[in-house]
Amino acid sequence: MTTRSAARPGLVLLAATLACTAGLLPAGPGTTAASAQSRAAVAPPRIGVLKVGGDALVKEGGLSASWVLEHDGVVQIALAGDRIGVLTGDGRAWVKQGGLSTNWVLEHDGGVKQLALAGDRIGVITGDGRAWVKEGGLSASWVLEHDGVKQLALSGDRIGVLTTDGRAWVKEGGLSASWVLEYNGVKQLALAGDRIGVVRADGVALVKAGGLSATWVTENTAVKQLVLAGDRIGVVRGGGAALVKEGGLSATWVTEHVDVLELALAGKRIGVLRVTGEALVKEGGLSDAWVTENAGVVGIALSSGTD
């Protein structure tokens, strides 16, 4: 799962079907690691783009599939499995599940700064810096996970938060599991499977694989963005070069593209957003050919359909 955003407010699409936003509830008993293992239904692989004017478009299937307009007035788009999420310029978080034309459900009404999806979990950061997560159906109850949060990451039964003091925390299991401090002095956190990645304030990217107390491996330097998906690791470096490696943490880097603003990974797909506003995606090996997907783009997201 990947998610991308751009600060471009606009109007909410009124064709959505509203559902009552669930109450904000404190963490309580009954949440188990087993329940977190359920996943959103499998869907074809999807590509999402956020256009300059705030339109969110998604396609599913092959790289040449047709685009479907999902929502307008969008500042962030997120994809996972058969779920699509958007954050609109008025701070509302909407999620739909199923086909591209299913109805939207209002998940949180106003003040949302970030939206995250993974499996059957949905997470938001509200304007007061609190991170909330729900699991199960779209109308499940929210659980307060942490406060003082500036970034939220979800993957499988792991939840990660980056707090305003630069600390990266991760928990594994149920929504009420205990937090483990992973690193200090962090500016970005990434999760995928049993891997955890951080970008330090000095631009050094580190990744660990295995348990929450596994050893860190230095992956690259001068990093602006770190992306994890499956056994792939990707970075965008300060000069705009996007590099990806596949396999173990010590695998060799492959330069995928230059003049890159954002990088996205999912399954066997790699996506880049160029400084020109073009969104390109390749499928297969690291050296496969690029396909131009869209232009006038400010954000790109990919989903393998099983994430």
Residue 17 has pLDDT above 50, yes or no: no
Q: How far is CA 160 from CA 101, 103, 168, in A?
A: 31, 29, 7
What is the rounded distance in angstroms from the CA atom of residue 210 to the CA atom of residue 87? 32
Token reading at 161 = 């938060």
Residue 297, pLDDT above cutoff 50: yes
Q: Is pLDDT at 15 greater than 50 in this prediction?
A: no
pLDDT 10s digits, 190-218: 999 999 999 999 999 999 999 999 999 99
Paired tokens of 307: 């994430």
Instruction: Give the helix, strand, coil percentages of the chain, each rounded to 5.
Output: 0, 50, 45
Q: 30: which residues sit within 8 A by CB, 6+ positions away?
A: none
CA angle 184, 186, 189 (to 5 degrees): 115
Ranges 27-31, 123-127, 159-163, 186-190: which has the least confidence: 27-31
- Structure-token pair, residue 206: 């580190």
**What does the pLDDT look like over 239-281, one tens digit per residue?**
999 999 999 999 999 999 999 999 999 999 999 999 999 999 9
Beta strand residue intervals within 184-221, DSSP E? 186-192, 195-200, 205-209, 217-220
Q: Closest Cα to residue 187, out of 205, 175, 170, 211?
A: 205
Q: Quick one: pLDDT at residue 41?
A: 77
Percentage above 90 pLDDT, the chain: 85
pTM exceeds 0.85, yes or no: yes
Instruction: Determine the Cα–Cα distance for residues 220 and 108; give it in Å rounded to an integer.
Output: 37
Domains of the chain by range and CATH? 3-303 (2.130.10.30)
